[in-house]
Amino acid sequence: MLDRLGRSAPYAVLLGAAAYFYALAERFEFSAPGGRLGPDAWPKIVLGLLATVCLYEIGRSFLGRAGSEVSGLLQSFLEKAADDAESGGAAPRSFRRLLAGIGITVLYVALVDVLGFLLATALYLAAFMRVGRYRRYAVIAAASLAGAAALLFVFMRIVYVSLPPGVGPFGALSYAVLSLMGVK
Amino acid sequence: MLETLTHLAGGFADVLQPVNLLVLAIGLVLGLLVAVLPGLTLVMGVVLALPFTYRMELTPAIILLTAMYVSGTYGGAFTSILFRIPGEPIDVPLLWDGYAMARAGAPAKALGWTLFGALGGGLVAALVLVLLSEPVARLALTFSAPEFLAIILFGLTSVVSLGGGSVTNALISLFIGLLIATVGTDETYGAERFAFGVRMLSDGIEYLLVMVGAYGLGEVFTRLEQGFRTQTAGAGKGAPIRTELPRLKELLATKATFIRSSLIGILVGIIPGAGATIASFVSYGAEGQYGRRRKELGSGIPEGILAPQTAATASVGGALIPLLTMGIPGSGATAIILAAFLLKGVQPGPQVFVSSGDTVYAIFASLFVAVLGMCLLGYFAIKLLVRVLAFPEAVVSAFVVMFCFVGAFAARNNLTDLYVITAFGVIGYLFERFRFPIAPMVLGSILGPLAENAFMTTMISHDNDWTVLFTRPVAGVVMALAIVALAYPALRRWRTR
C-alpha cells in the first residue's frame, strides 16, 4: 500500500497544483466580447488535460497491475542500450553533492552583481570543479582564473555583452582587468 | 527549377565569402567537439553558441548554428565506435554494430561507414530541403489557423509517443511546458496570467530560458550528483585511429539501407517534435524489421552503422523544412535557430522566401558545404577530436554552466533571468530523476504560444466550432495523424500482450 501511495504521490501533487492554477485562471481579469473565448480558455483546457492524466495515473497506481505502463516508441531501444551499459555499473548518486552544486550556483547568481563577473566567475568555477570531485588544485586555480578572464574578454570584447562589473573595490578590480584587456 | 538553381548558386556565392566560410568552419569544429564530449549534448552545444551570434549578421549567425547542428549528428560516432562512449543519445545505436565491428578488428572500416552515412544522408537531405522548401512554403501560404493548429498538435503528440519512458509522464511534461508558455501578459486581452504580481513573470518566461535551464543546467546537475563518472580514462590511447572508406562494391550492396535510412531521417526530421535521436533509433529499428541482413544486426554489420548515422544526419535537412516554411521548429536545435532568426527580427514562415530569400538559399548552400566540410574534418582530424575526451568532466561542466548563464543573460541583459534558468535547471534535474522526459516540456514551451494563437484564431474565425479541425481536409488528415500518433504506443502495447 505504501508503495502505491508513493507511486501516486507526484501525480497527486500535480493534480493539486492543476486545481490551484485552474482556480487562478477563473480569476483572470479581462473583458471579452460576447461569445468569444477569453485568455483563460487555453490554460483551462491544458489544466483540464493535465488533471485528467494525473487522475489516470493515480487510478493506475491503486488499481493497475505492476508494469502496466504504456511507453513511447524509443523505450525498447533505450532498455537495450541500458542493458548494454550495465556492465559498467550504475554510478552512485550523492544528494549532498547535488545540493552543494545547486547552492553555489544560487550563490553565484546572488553575488555576481556585487562581486562582478570576473571575480564571481573565477570563484564559482573553482568551487564547482571542487564540488564535482576534481582534485588537481593547480589545474582548478589556473582553469578558473584563466577561464574567467577569457570569458570576460570574449564576451565583452568580441561578443559585446555587457557583463556586470561589480560594486566598490570589486568594480575597480574589474575595470582594471578590462583596461588591461583593452576593453573600454 | 532553373530559378531555384540560380538562387542556390547565389547561396553558394554567399557561403563561400571568407567570413561565412570561417564561421561555418568554426561551427563544424564546435559541433564535432560537442558531440564527442559526453557531458555536452548537441542541443546544449547549439544553445551555448547562441550568444556568439548576437552581434553577427543573420546569414553567418544561422550558418554557424546550422553547421553545429549538422556536425553534432556525426562527431559522437567516433567515440561510440572506438571507445564505446556515446557522446550523444543519437549515437547509442552505433554501439550495437559500430563498436562490435571495431571490436572485431575493423574500427577504421566502421568509421568509414559512419562517414559515408553522414555524407550521403546529409547531402540527400540537403537536396530534398532545396527541392521541397519552396513548394511547401507555397502550400503553407494556403493554410489557415486550423491547419497550423493541427500541425502543431501533431508535432506535440509525436514528441510524446516517439520518446522513451512513460507516455503519461511525457504528456504531463508537455502540459507543464504549455502552461509555462501561458505565464505573463496575454497578447489579445492584456490579462495577466499566473504572474502573481511579479514583474519578471508578467513579461513571460522566454522559451530560451526553459531550454538553457532544463537541457543545460539540468544535465549538469544530474551528472554532478553522479560525480561526473563518465568512463573516458584511456580513451584516445592505444589502437591507431584512422578512417577507411568502404569500397564501391560494398556501397552498392547497402544501397537499400541507405535509401531507406535517408528517407526515414528526412521524414522524421520533418515531423515537428521528432529529431536526430528518434531518426537514428527508428532507422535502426526499420533495419531490424526490413533489412536484408536483419538477423545479423548487432553483430557488427555495415547496415547497422549506416542506418542510424544516415538517418541522424538526414534529419537535419528534414527538420529545417517546417522551420523555414512554417516557422515551426521541429527539434531543440531548430528552436535555437528559430530564436536566432527572431533575434534578428526575421520570422521564418511561408513569407521567408520573399522577405529573406538570400539568407534562406545561403542556409541551403551552407548545408551542402557543411556536410562536405564535416566529413573532411572527420576524416583528417579525428585523432585530434577524440583527444578532448581527456578533458576532466567537472572542468568542462563548470564552463558549460558559465556559457548557459552568459547566454541567458546576454539575450535581455537581465540578471533575474539567471534565477529563472537555475530554477529550470533544478526542474530539469527533477524531471530526469523522476523519469519525466524534458523534451516535451521544452517543446511545449516553444510551441505553446503558436498553438494558443492558432487555437484562439480558429475559435474566433469559426464561432467556437472546434469540429472545424476535423472537417477541413488538410487539418482533418493531420489531426487523424495526431490521434494515431498518440494512440500508437497503447495499440502497440495491446498487440504485444
Confidence of residue B310 (pLDDT cuts 50, 70, 90): very high
Name every chain B residue with its beta carbon within 8 A of the beta carbon of A158: 52
CA A127 to chain B, closest CA, distance in angstroms equals 9
Name every chain A residue with its beta carbon within 8 A of the beta carbon of B220: 101
Span B241-257, average pLDDT = 90
CA B407 to chain A, closest CA, distance in angstroms equals 9
pLDDT, one tens digit per residue, over B208-226 is: 888 888 888 898 999 899 8
Span B47-52, average pLDDT = 83
Confidence of residue A80 (pLDDT cuts 50, 70, 90): low
Most confident of A4-13, B282-291, B301-310, B394-403: B301-310
Name every chain B residue with its beta carbon within 8 A of the beta carbon of A40: 191, 193
pLDDT, one tens digit per residue, over B58-81 is: 999 999 999 999 999 988 888 888
| CB-based contact B225 A143, cutoff 8 Å | no
Please indicate whether residue B87 or residue B429 has the higher confidence score (pLDDT).
Answer: B429
pLDDT, one tens digit per residue, over B366-409 is: 999 999 999 999 888 887 777 777 788 889 889 989 988 887 88
Name every chain A residue with its beta carbon within 8 A of the beta carbon of B424: none
- Contact with chain A for residue B409, Cβ under 8 A: yes
Please indicate whether residue B164 or residue B478 has the higher confidence score (pLDDT).
Answer: B478
pLDDT, one tens digit per residue, over B160-190 is: 887 767 889 999 999 999 999 999 998 888 8
pLDDT, one tens digit per residue, over A36-76 is: 889 999 999 999 999 999 999 999 888 876 666 777 666 66
Confidence of residue A86 (pLDDT cuts 50, 70, 90): very low
Residue of B nearest to A32 (CA): B189
At B497 the pLDDT is 66
Please indicate whether residue B333 or residue B366 has the higher confidence score (pLDDT).
Answer: B366
CA A135 to chain B, closest CA, distance in angstroms equals 10
Span B116-124, average pLDDT = 95
Residue of A nearest to B396 (CA): A129
Residue of A nearest to B444 (CA): A46
At A102 the pLDDT is 96
For chain B, give the mean pLDDT. Answer: 87
pLDDT, one tens digit per residue, over A131-168 is: 998 889 999 999 999 999 999 888 888 777 788 999 99
Whether ipTM > 0.85 holds is: yes
Name every chain B residue with its beta carbon within 8 A of the beta carbon of A106: 419, 422
Q: What is the pTM of this model?
A: 0.84
- Contact with chain B for residue A70, Cβ under 8 A: yes
At A79 the pLDDT is 63
For chain A positions 1-60, those within 8 Å of chain B (CB to CB) are 10-11, 14, 21, 24-25, 28-32, 35-43, 46-47, 49-50, 53-54, 56-57
At A85 the pLDDT is 52
HEC secondary structure over chain B: CHHHHHHHHHHHHHHCCHHHHHHHHHHHHHHHHHHHCCCCCHHHHHHHHHHHHCCCCHHHHHHHHHHHHHHHCCCHHHHHHHHCCCCCHHHHHHHHHHHHHHHCCCHHHHHHHHHHHHHHHHHHHHHHHHHHHHHHHHHHHCCCHHHHHHHHHHHHHHHHHHCCCEHHHHHHHHHHHHHHHHCEECCCCCCEECCCCCHHHHCCCCHHHHHHHHHHHHHHHHHHHCCCCCCCCCCCCCCCCCCCCCCHHHHHHCHHHHHHHHHHHHHHHHCCCCCHHHHHHHHHHHHHHHCCCHHHCCCCCHHHHHHHHHHHHHHHHHHHHHHHHHCCCCCHHHHHHHHHHHHCCCCCCCCHHHHCHHHHHHHHHHHHHHHHHHHHHHHHHHHHHHHHHHCCHHHHHHHHHHHHHHHHHHHHCCCHHHHHHHHHHHHHHHHHHCCCCHHHHHHHHHHHHHHHHHHHHHHHHCCCCCCHHHHCHHHHHHHHHHHHHHHHHHHHHHHHC
Whether the per-residue pLDDT at B488 is higher than 80: the answer is: yes
Residue of A37, A65, A105 to mutate, interface with B, max B Cβ within 10 Å: A105
Q: Over pLDDT 70: what percentage of chain B?
A: 96
Confidence of residue B233 (pLDDT cuts 50, 70, 90): very low
For chain A, give the mean pLDDT. Answer: 86
At B206 the pLDDT is 85
- Contact with chain B for residue A132, Cβ under 8 A: yes
CA B405 to chain A, closest CA, distance in angstroms equals 9
Q: Which of B160, B193, B422 sits opposite A39 (nearest CB)?
A: B193
Span A83-90, average pLDDT = 53
CA A158 to chain B, closest CA, distance in angstroms equals 8
pLDDT, one tens digit per residue, over B86-100 is: 767 788 888 888 888
Q: Over pLDDT 90: what percentage of chain B?
A: 39
Residue of B nearest to A82 (CA): B92
Whether the per-residue pLDDT at B105 is higher than 70: the answer is: yes
